[in-house]
Amino acid sequence: MVTIKPTLIKNARLIDPAKSKVEDGAILFADTILDVGNVSGAPDGATIIDADGAHIAPGLIDMRVTIGEPGAEHKETFKSAGRAAAAGGVTTMVMTPNTNPVIDDQSLVDFVLRRGVDRSGGVHILPAAALTKHLDGDLMTEIGLMAEAGAVLFSNGDKPVVSSRVLRRALSYATAFDALVANRPEDQYLAEGGVMHAGELAARLGLPGIPDAAESIMAERDLTLAEITGGRLLLDMISAARTLPALKRAKDKGVKATASVNVHHLVLNENDVDGYRSFAKLSPPLRSEDDRKALVEAISSGLIDVIVSGHNPQPAEEKRLPYEEAAFGAVGLETLLAGALTLHHKGDASLNTIIRAMTLRPAEVLKLPQGRLAKGAPADLILIDIGAPYKLDADHLRSKSKNSPFDEKLLQGVVKTTFIGGKPVFTT
């Protein structure tokens, strides 16, 4: 076993997601955090880094990452996703099950756990297993066996479970294993054929729209099923203000419901599609400015628990097409942090709130030891210059695919060093 030499980072600004303020201090760590805050000193032989006022935070936990391997390695591999994640400060990724073959049995869960750690450069890759066989929405998978094998949640990927009966059975069965069930709330019949948010802009552009009711109707159903079964439910990547009242009612009742939001929906809106910008074609679609503001408020209040990248790599030949024909999806591993920090720089949300939604809250939802600046926690850490400005050039992204709606936009927030288990895996 390799012993990790201790590292002391001093003169830092500590972003502890369990607190409501950012504090000056230092952090001492090996493979776990040894001391944090007012650290008295470092042992002989320790590496000492002067942060010079830069911020230290737990490594980000991204709960919504699509990786092409196995089956679509031309889009993304474990290796390229690991490089992108480390550069973006993401130390743990939850990988969606929509691979080829689909991650719908324990041998494939084991494959991801073994192959991912070997090829990701140290970034933790945790599998989300399929909720139904082949993601076809009909036959429930062996949730218990895959949970035992290491699946951290169960999802139908980009395909919402249409059958209320199947989802009810899955939520009920999952309670025996305290397993988390994630579902995209979208009525497939209302959304059918739509390519952007249904509104005045869609009408002007002559594009078929997806109404916000397609999300809110299914969210009501999913939350009701979670209530009657007692199952743990994650509303996956909600996008509409219309969905939020149902989520609040469910939480107030004690329903075991959580929700995530794609960072793009917190920063961008439907106007970013104007000009038929296919790199801004997402599922769910970018919605109105009122929706965006409501989602930001829901993050600030804690109603929405988790911010994700929604990382969905698509090659140029599938994105550089007429808007209606282009594939849905955007890469986001490298821009998750900088995108979310936009809310801090604009004064829309506190720094602790933003970091908490990408560290402590996902760790709590997934029952992971990461996401904390606390003694004994894994030393998965990032050193950040949160004010450093840059203009994103998507061609320089480390992902195999370059489909970012932030392309050519000005962002602030650069990861200087990423540590995983106390070991530096990325340095600028």
Q: Residue 373 domain-assigned? A: no
pTM exceeds 0.85 for this model: yes
pLDDT at res. 2? 62
* One domain for residues 193 and 173: yes
* One domain for residues 211 and 257: yes
Single out the residue in 323, 343, 366 at which a domain terminates.
Answer: 366
Single out the residue in 366, 391, 406 at which a domain terminates.
Answer: 366
Q: Residue 249 domain-assigned? A: yes
55-58 and 124-130 beta bridge pairing: unpaired
Q: Residue 371 domain-assigned? A: no
Residues with Cβ within 8 Å of 126's Cβ and at least 6 positions away in sequence, in order, are 92, 93, 94, 95, 113, 150, 152, 366
Cβ contact 315:75 at 8 Å:
yes
- Domain that includes residue 41, residue range: 7-56+379-427
Q: Residue 32 domain-assigned? A: yes
* One domain for residues 276 and 397: no
pLDDT at res. 41? 86
pLDDT at res. 93? 98
CATH code of the domain covering residue 242: 3.20.20.140
Whether omega for the bond prior to residue 284 falls within 30 degrees of 0, making it cis, is: yes
Q: Residue 241 domain-assigned? A: yes
CA 16 vs. chain centroid, Å, equals: 19
Q: HEC profile for 174-188?
A: HHHHCCEEEECCCCH
| DSSP output for 338-369 | HHHHHHHHTTSS-HHHHHHTTTHHHHHHHT-S
* Each residue's pLDDT tens digit, 307-336: 999 999 999 999 999 999 999 999 999 999
pLDDT at res. 21? 87
* One domain for residues 229 and 273: yes
- Residue 285 to residues 310, 373, 410, Cα–Cα distance (Å): 12, 35, 22
Mean pLDDT of 240-266: 98
Cβ contact 121:420 at 8 Å:
no
* One domain for residues 256 and 193: yes
* Each residue's pLDDT tens digit, 338-374: 999 999 999 999 999 999 999 999 999 999 999 999 9
How crowded is the C-beta side of 376, counted as CA atoms within 13 Å? 2
pLDDT at res. 1? 53
* Each residue's pLDDT tens digit, 55-78: 999 999 999 999 999 999 999 999
pLDDT at res. 376? 97
Measured at the alpha carbon of residue 150, what is the angle toward residues 146 and 152, in degrees to the nearest 5?
Answer: 90
Q: What does the alpha-carbon distance between residue 20 and residue 356 come to, in Å, rounded to a whole number?
A: 10
* One domain for residues 269 and 158: yes
* One domain for residues 244 and 115: yes
Q: What does the alpha-carbon distance between residue 298 and residue 255 come to, in Å, rounded to a whole number?
A: 17
* One domain for residues 69 and 52: no
- Residue 347 to residues 115, 259, 308, 340, Cα–Cα distance (Å): 41, 23, 20, 12
Domains of the chain: total? 2
Pick from 274, 262, 292: which is nearest to 201 by CA?
Answer: 274
Cβ contact 231:258 at 8 Å:
no
Average pLDDT of the chain is 97
* Each residue's pLDDT tens digit, 66-109: 999 999 999 999 999 999 999 999 999 999 999 999 999 999 99
* Each residue's pLDDT tens digit, 118-146: 899 999 999 999 999 999 999 999 999 99
- Counting every residue written for the chain, the total comes to 428
Q: Residue 206 domain-assigned? A: yes
Q: Is 88 helix (H, G, I), strand (E, B) or coil?
A: helix
pLDDT at res. 118? 87
* One domain for residues 39 and 105: no
Q: What does the alpha-carbon distance between residue 233 and residue 163 come to, in Å, rounded to a whole number?
A: 16
pLDDT at res. 361? 98
Tokens of 349: 């949300």
Q: Residue 1 domain-assigned? A: no
Radius of gyration of the chain (CA): 21
* One domain for residues 17 and 98: no
Pick from 234, 235, 184, 239: which is nearest to 211 by CA?
Answer: 239
CATH code of the domain covering residue 393: 2.30.40.10
* Each residue's pLDDT tens digit, 255-284: 999 999 999 999 999 999 999 999 999 999
Residues with Cβ within 8 Å of 284's Cβ and at least 6 positions away in sequence, in order, are 184, 186, 210, 215, 237, 238, 239, 240, 262, 265
* One domain for residues 228 and 282: yes
How crowded is the C-beta side of 240, counted as CA atoms within 13 Å? 24
Q: Residue 169 domain-assigned? A: yes
How crowded is the C-beta side of 322, counted as CA atoms within 13 Å? 5
Q: Is the pLDDT of residue 236 over 70?
A: yes
* One domain for residues 282 and 359: yes
